[in-house]
Chains A and B, each alone.
Chain A
Amino acid sequence: MTLRVGVLSFAHTHAIGYLSALAAMPDVEVRGTDPGGVSTGTTLGELRGADLTGALGVAHADTVDDLLAWGPDAVVVTSENARHREFVERAAAAGAHVLCEKPLATSWEDGLAIRDAVQRAGVTLMMAYPVRFASAFDRLRATHASGALGTVFSVRGANNGMLPLTRDWFTDPALSGGGAIVDHVVHVADLVDGLTGARPVSVTAVANRVLHAERARAETAGLVTVTYDTGMVVAIDCSWSRPDTAPAWGGLTLDVAGTGGTVSVDFFGAAARGLDAVGGRPIELRYGADHDVPMLRTFLDAVRDGVQPQPDVQVGLRTLSIVLAAQESVRTGRTVPVPTA
């Protein structure tokens, strides 16, 4: 069965990868629309709208209405974070299943509205948390499931990257929902959720704008601790602490401690390494399978089979609840209870 899949907005750079991956799938027809998107240059990362679909050989729709009138079975929402609600509500009302870029929303109200919209429409929403689809995470889960890790009681997670430069809105809190906390807490929170199923209880966070001080409109470094209903304690470094000059964008590491021992995973750490003979700069040639394709496959299989895939909208809300509590903790200097849906 061939599926019609729409990509709503190319504001998020992940739209490029999703459009390409979907276009390469034989059983998928893909069409994209990018309301208001204007190219800022000629490289692939700078192309927007019909310029991008043209470069990728993908069909283009001029408006969201046009795209939804095409009758897509599913859509991928890759808009600015603050506009997820608007696009999800329209897609759900049109009966399309939704793969939503992270974070689910930038406010609790919008998150709940998204949940209600997909429930009302009877469509599925899956969160685009690609690291869940890394083989290393499968192995971690298998180790946990085997009992070898015992009871997980402490986790250290670090999701560090560069200050996002490709799209201005990433550093505009009105559109992104904040800074490093909203950008990078969610991936680690999702992996902990997927691994343990524990529910977050309280959050404490500290942040600053020391790095990239001249460009920062929100925090560029953040450290977050989370307590869970199982007693587990988790710490997350969400800082944009990779310099622009680094050989690779950043990464995500997880150090999991259980009563049976520890497992440490460096999800993007595999690389061949060397030195540039002229400048002495490190050469870091990373390898490892792309996580987007298995994530898209899981989503599309679920659309075909009518089975709710994970991570679902509840995971989206739980990971958002940690972000919002962390932001409030930074504002107030207090430890903050996590909102529950």
Chain B
Amino acid sequence: MTLQSAPRPRRRIGLVGAGGIAVAHVPGLLRLGDLVVHSQDGAPALAAAFADEAARVGSTITVADSLDELLAAVDVVDVVVPTPAHATVVRAALAAGRHVVSEKPLARTDADADDLVARAADAGLQLYPAHVVRWFPAYRRLHEAVTTGLLGDLAVLRFSRSGAFPTRVAWFGDRAQSGGIVMDQMIHDLDIARWVAGPVTRVSAVTVRTGDDEHPVEAAHVLLTHASGAISHVAGLWGPPHLAFSTEYSVTGTRGSLSHSSLAEEDTRADLATPTAVDGFLPSVDPAEDPYALELADFVAAVDGGPLPRVSAADGAVAVRLANAALASIASGQPVEVTL
């Protein structure tokens, strides 16, 4: 390979957190620059696990012993800590003058989410919530079908997301910390419903958690009324440990309908004596069109002066408000009027 102009300095990206979603982000991040990881837990193991991958794509992955050390060493920060810590880490990164990508939800509370949006704007820094489903190809197709008018005026939308109850780390199951299935998992489809059907005027929700301490299960159903008059149902399921991750949608408008089932559209079906393991926590992705890598590339390109990504900090804050409105409806047993 020959380069006609001097290469720009290597981008340095900070990754704060080393949990499950970090594993999904690292391959894409390594293609965008050198990676510095800091985490209360697991950073050396993460760096070791991806050392070969980093070398293969010509990047490095190293560990910073403190958040300050990481912030001093990088240009952009990807925050993948547990939900209750998002706001604190994002604030620190913004205060250090760094552009920030934050895993969803942008924050646990409406006030924190709004505060982060305001701080980023005041500092002239870019802040992006990682609502990765907007980069999943089936949901891009849906958005295209709606925005090009293929489906006409939207009438009724259904979204569903199912997987295993996340028991690997305790904070997911703690509703106060994570916001439960509504804030952690269903916020994806709440964001998608608003992305395709527009602003929301009313939110209602019902939920259940049962099972036992070792094998809890949780489900919720959220109904949205959109300003356009369209109505949406968002279903979330955290089931037993063996449950494979799956998503569905079914959207009908005056000119047509579009539906998708991730299980039905899998391009490979194997029937082997030794079954392959299923991942109940994250969707399977095509590595040639990895949605995590695509969103991170878009975010980093925007930081470099490229086009605005398809999700903004404000969208992230609205998604948090939608999820909290659903939680408020669960608490009160009545629908909640909103302007979101």
Q: Mark A residues whose CB is within 8 Å of B.
A: 150-151, 153-154, 156, 158, 202, 204-208, 210-211, 213, 220-223, 225-227, 231-235, 237, 239, 241, 243, 255, 257, 259-262, 333-335
Q: How many Å lie between the Cα of A220 and that of B252 in the bound state?
A: 12
Is A223 in contact with B231, judged by CB distance below 8 angstroms? yes
Which residue of B has the minimal Cβ distance to A228?
B208
Q: How many Å lie between the Cα of A259 and that of B209 in the bound state?
A: 10
Q: How many Å lie between the Cα of A154 and that of B158 in the bound state?
A: 15
Listed by A's residue number, 7 A-B pairs whose Cβ atoms lie within 8 Å are A210-B155, A211-B254, A222-B156, A222-B231, A227-B206, A234-B221, A335-B333
* Given A210-B154, A211-B155, 6 further pairs, Cβ under 8 A: A211-B254, A225-B204, A225-B205, A234-B221, A257-B217, A259-B211
Sort chain B's interface into a size bin.
Answer: 35 or more
Is A154 in contact with B155, judged by CB distance below 8 angstroms? no
Is A241 in contact with B155, judged by CB distance below 8 angstroms? yes
Is A233 in contact with B221, judged by CB distance below 8 angstroms? yes
Which residue of A has the minimal Cβ distance to B263?
A264
Chain B nearest Cβ from A14, distance in angstroms: 25
Q: How many Å lie between the Cα of A261 and that of B225 in the bound state?
A: 30
Q: Which residues of B contact A259 (CB under 8 A)?
A: 210-211, 215, 217, 240
Q: How many Å lie between the Cα of A184 and that of B158 in the bound state?
A: 16
Q: Which 5 A-B pairs have the closest CB atoms?
A: A154-B219, A210-B155, A221-B156, A235-B221, A241-B252
Which residue of A has the minimal Cβ distance to B162?
A262
Chain A nearest Cβ from B238, distance in angstroms: 9
Specify which of B158, B210, B243, B334 is in contact with A231 (CB 8 Å cutoff).
Answer: B210
Is B219 in contact with A208, judged by CB distance below 8 angstroms? no
Is B217 in contact with A221, judged by CB distance below 8 angstroms? no
Is A156 in contact with B206, judged by CB distance below 8 angstroms? no
Q: How many Å lie between the Cα of A257 and that of B153 in the bound state?
A: 32
Specify which of A150, A207, A243, A333 is in contact with B202 (CB 8 Å cutoff).
Answer: A333
Which residue of A has the minimal Cβ distance to B332?
A335
The SS class assigned to the B binding surface is strand
Is A153 in contact with B233, judged by CB distance below 8 angstroms? no
Specify which of A158, A227, A235 is in contact with B250 (CB 8 Å cutoff).
Answer: A158
Q: Which residues of B contact A208 (CB under 8 A)?
A: 155-156, 229-231
Q: How many Å lie between the Cα of A20 and that of B195 in the bound state?
A: 50
Q: Which residues of B contact A221 (CB under 8 A)?
A: 155-156, 231, 252
Is A153 in contact with B217, judged by CB distance below 8 angstroms? yes
Q: How many Å lie between the Cα of A333 and that of B203 in the bound state?
A: 10
| B303-340 with Cβ < 8 A to chain A | 333-335
Q: How many Å lie between the Cα of A243 and that of B258 in the bound state?
A: 12
Q: How many Å lie between the Cα of A158 and that of B217 in the bound state?
A: 23
Q: How many Å lie between the Cα of A234 and that of B221 in the bound state?
A: 8
Is B208 in contact with A223, judged by CB distance below 8 angstroms? no
Specify which of A153, A225, A262 is in contact with B210 (CB 8 Å cutoff).
Answer: A153
Q: How many Å lie between the Cα of A223 and that of B217 in the bound state?
A: 24
Q: How many Å lie between the Cα of A22 and that of B335 in the bound state?
A: 47
Is A206 in contact with B231, judged by CB distance below 8 angstroms? yes
Q: How many Å lie between the Cα of A62 and that of B239 in the bound state?
A: 58
Interface assignment of B293: CB less than 8 Å from any CB of chain A: no
Is A233 in contact with B230, judged by CB distance below 8 angstroms? no
Is A261 in contact with B156, judged by CB distance below 8 angstroms? no
Specify which of B223, B243, B254 is in contact with A204 (CB 8 Å cutoff).
Answer: B223
Which residue of B has the minimal Cβ distance to A213?
B254
Q: Which residues of A contact B334 (CB under 8 A)?
A: 334-335
Is A210 in contact with B230, judged by CB distance below 8 angstroms? yes
Is A233 in contact with B219, judged by CB distance below 8 angstroms? yes
Is A206 in contact with B223, judged by CB distance below 8 angstroms? yes
| B191-238 with Cβ < 8 A to chain A | 202, 204-208, 210-211, 215, 217, 219-221, 223-225, 229-233, 235, 237
Q: Which residues of A contact B235 (CB under 8 A)?
A: 154, 156, 235
Bitwise interface map of B from 149 to 193 toward A, beta carbon under 8 Å scored 1, else 0: 000011110101010000000000000000000000000000000
- Knowing A259-B210, A334-B335, say if A210 contacts B153 (CB, 8 Å): yes
Chain B nearest Cβ from A218, distance in angstroms: 14
Q: Which residues of B contact A225 (CB under 8 A)?
A: 204-206, 221, 223, 233
Chain B nearest Cβ from A2, distance in angstroms: 47
Is A261 in contact with B231, judged by CB distance below 8 angstroms? no
Q: Which residues of B contact A255 (CB under 8 A)?
A: 160
Q: Which residues of A contact B229 (CB under 8 A)?
A: 208, 210
Is A220 in contact with B239, judged by CB distance below 8 angstroms? no
Q: Which residues of B contact A262 (CB under 8 A)?
A: 162, 237, 239, 243
Q: Which residues of B contact A227 (CB under 8 A)?
A: 206
Q: Which residues of B contact A202 (CB under 8 A)?
A: 333
Interface assignment of B141: CB less than 8 Å from any CB of chain A: no
Chain B nearest Cβ from A271, distance in angstroms: 14
- Knowing A225-B204, A262-B162, say if A207 contacts B210 (CB, 8 Å): no
Q: Which residues of B contact A231 (CB under 8 A)?
A: 208, 210
Q: How many Å lie between the Cα of A262 and that of B229 in the bound state?
A: 32
Is A151 in contact with B252, judged by CB distance below 8 angstroms? no
Q: Which residues of B contact A241 (CB under 8 A)?
A: 155-156, 252, 257
Is B233 in contact with A237, judged by CB distance below 8 angstroms? yes
Q: Which residues of B contact A234 (CB under 8 A)?
A: 221
Q: Which residues of A contact B335 (CB under 8 A)?
A: 204, 333-335
Bitwise interface map of B from 44 to 76 toward A, beta carbon under 8 Å scored 1, else 0: 000000000000000000000000000000000
- Knowing A210-B229, A237-B156, A257-B239, say if A223 contacts B206 (CB, 8 Å): no
Chain B nearest Cβ from A296, distance in angstroms: 33
Q: Which residues of B contact A220 (CB under 8 A)?
A: 155
Interface assignment of B242: CB less than 8 Å from any CB of chain A: yes
